[in-house]
Amino acid sequence: MSEIATVLDGAVDQASDRSLEESLRGIATRLAELARRPVLSLLAIELQIHALRDPVFAAHFERVKAAYHREFAQVIAKVIEHYQLRSLIPPLQLSIALHALWSGSIVQATSADALPVEDLIMLMFKTATGCDVRSPSGK
């Protein structure tokens, strides 16, 4: 999980000279690529399911997952600050919501009529940060 936050933090740093739309597209595309990596993405789902069944494992896994959410929240906060956005929810809650969307897409976005996960992530981020979802610039 930490690998995901590290990759995204690097994507944010690389995107600092881009428009909000380009930055979000880069981050969302990277998340979608990670979701398509079967070992990483399915393992994350399997660990979560195992945590639901095993309270001892869950205690440890929840600490790991909370640390990941904090790392990802820092990435989100960096984007919000850089583009001077007004988040409707705190970065930690947005981190948790985006992670739920990402992990859900791994098992649910298998139908032909499903939106690509990168589009869903961008839409959710824009909505949660008060961006105009109809405008390509996001502002």
For the segment 14-27, what is each residue's pLDDT rounded down to a tens digit? 656 678 888 888 88
pTM score, whole prediction: 0.79
For the segment 60-78, what is each residue's pLDDT rounded down to a tens digit? 999 999 998 998 899 889 8
Q: Which amino acid would we find at residue 26? A: G
